[in-house]
Structure 1
Amino acid sequence: MNLTSSQAEQILALADRAYAADGCAPLNEEARFAIAGTPAEHLLAEQDGVIVGYLQWQPAFGTGQLVVDPHFRRRGLGGALVEQLIEGLADPTLGLAGSESGEWGLWSFGDLPAAREFAAALGFRPSRTLLVMRRPLADLQPSPIPEGLQLRGFQPGDRDAFLALNAEAFAEHPEQGALDADGLAQRMAEDWFDPDGLLLAFDADGLVGFHWTKLAEPGTGEVYVIGTAARVRGRGYGRVLLDAGLAHLAAAGATEVLLYVDSAEQIPVRMYEGAGFLIDHRDLLYTKPAQENR
């Protein structure tokens, strides 16, 4: 189904109410892009014409995101939306495409106790953990830039090389690796986009890495994405790009910075720990094998 502008506004307001109650956002950036019109399926629960429950299903990733109004929780609305999704995945005539692997999951942002109980009651198990890490932007000690490496901001002619390197660096990453020209254009249209904050690293043979920084909230920057080419792995370019991006965010007015990293990716986790980042909280993906859907 396609959302009307009224439905989209109601869903965003619902997400804001949940954020105020829980202290963490129930929908991530990808979900908000989908509310604005990128491909996804939308399941709604309403009371007296007002949306009080929302489940977004993204078949490309085999994942969903669920939010229920704080004033309407523990009434079975969340479970009913999940059951509706399960029925849709089991019956192609209902129009909900499933994931290619057959395994699918629901994201829980903030690892809230209530979300753990909800997932366990429905037979979901945690299968992936994203670490949300932070550090203050004080006492920065930038890494020296190696000889033969040049850093500069993004320019329009860099698009294809950037997308190719992103696809290579995140070939095993279901979300980031899928970034295409449309997705890039959508992000570049956001108010927070700064071409100088998308730092690119070049050697004599071309683009070898990037650090895409983000400053969406006053005072808080983000290590949005860091990627390096396979041919230069092990040379420390990731740390050089990390430090250069932190310096850019500090100069832009950020006083702290956060990032998201998969806990299974130990090399970047150790790099971030070495750069002074500490774990703030965790986001969990709860999955359910296809054979257990009924």
Structure 2
Amino acid sequence: MTMRQPVRAAGRLSASEVDDVLALAAAAAELDGTYPLSEDIVLRVRGDVATQGVHLLSYAGDRLAGYAFVEDAAGELVVHPQFRRQGHGSALLAAAGDGPLRFWAHGDDPGSAAFAERNGFHRARVLWQMRRSLLEPLPDVPLPDGVTVRAFNPDSDEQRWLEVNARAFAHHPEQGRWTLEDLRSREAEPWFDPAGFLLAVDIADTLLGFHWTKVHPAAGDDPAIGEIYVLGVDPGGHRRGLGAALSVAGLRHLASAGLTVSNLYVDESNAAAVALYRRLGYQVYKTDVNYQRS
């Protein structure tokens, strides 16, 4: 067995460390069938978004065996399949410190659950990935009176979108805290398309809600997938049925682009959103679990 080295902490990763972390994540995804890092963490790994968090790296000799990112007592952790059950996961948790801590596990894996329980974590939150075919008919859901849909304009819509997003997701621990840097980092991604970022506005062009779609290219056995990336309605200007109408408008946009499958992510506990998506024909496809240590 290669000797495990002390965990190293870094505020920013070097180019070679970025490559090593992404290669480790790819190796874990190949074995586990699900990618172990969220989009938000990948942006921080690459340095596309500034962070006050810390990158934790566990080595077996000179090879990266495990990686974790922690910010505001929350993060994600992954161990290379070749180095599992050798103490790297526990060493990363120890380096993250004592006290309250939350970690996402992508995929509801029994091994992750057992590891969490051994280290004093309990199952605190569940995120569902849901999917539906875009070849099946979509319901006809008209927009409320006086509301139209137009595309997002990066030159004029950024700040007011951030304000509506913050109100719509005021109680969401991740989405509601987006900054201008978070938004612009997504605008710089190859997948960003303002034509698929739909805004619902009234006659005065007041932003009432939005449906931001995202297209994932085909990979492995998966076809190209059109995602309901972020869907929100301003609670201060809520129009009955606007969420459903925006959902269908975005799905029609994706279907018109030739996509045949759509997905989305939603908290299991968000009963209203889950009910909407089930009415639109979505079914649970995969599960992510947030484990918490009090």
For normalisation by structure 1, the TM-score amounts to 0.90
Among 254, 259, 264, the alignment partner of 1:254 is 259
Q: CA deviation at 1:161?
A: 1.2
Matched residues in 1 for 2:65 and 2:118: separation? 21
Q: CA deviation at 1:142?
A: 3.8
The percentage of counterpart residues that share the same residue type is 40
Count of residues paired in the alignment: 273
Residues 24 and 79, structure 2, Cα contact 8 Å, conserved in 1: yes
Q: CA deviation at 1:46?
A: 1.1
Among 150, 153, 169, the alignment partner of 1:152 is 150
Q: CA deviation at 1:145?
A: 2.4
Matched residues in 2 for 1:48 and 1:32: separation? 25
For structure 1, which runs of at least 5 residues remain unmatched after alignment? 91-101, 290-294
Matched residues in 2 for 1:231 and 1:46: separation? 50
The answer to which of 215-224 and 166-175 deviates more is 215-224
Q: Deviations over 1:205-233 (max 9, x none)?
A: 51100001000223211110100011343
Which of the pair is proportionally richer in helix?
Answer: 1
What does residue range 183-222 of structure 1 map to in structure 2 within 5 Å?
Answer: 183-205=182-204, 206-218=206-218, 219-222=224-227
1:226 maps onto 2:231 in alignment: yes
Residues 142 and 247, structure 1, Cα contact 8 Å, conserved in 2: no
Aligned to 2:133: 136
Residues 24 and 80, structure 2, Cα contact 8 Å, conserved in 1: yes
Q: CA deviation at 1:167?
A: 0.7
SS where residue 248 of structure 2 aligns? helix
SS where residue 156 of structure 2 aligns? helix
Matched residues in 2 for 1:213 and 1:161: separation? 18
Matched residues in 2 for 1:30 and 1:159: separation? 19
Matched residues in 1 for 2:144 and 2:240: separation? 9
Matched residues in 2 for 1:149 and 1:282: separation? 35
SS where residue 171 of structure 2 aligns? coil
Q: Deviations over 1:225-268 (max 9, x none)?
A: 10001134360100000001111111223210111111111111
Q: Deviations over 1:80-110 (max 9, x none)?
A: 1111112xxx5xxxxxxxxxxx632111111
Matched residues in 2 for 1:180 and 1:259: separation? 22
For normalisation by structure 2, the TM-score amounts to 0.90
Aligned to 2:277: 272
For structure 2, which runs of at least 5 residues remain unmatched after alignment? 1-9, 219-223
Among 55, 58, 75, the alignment partner of 1:45 is 58
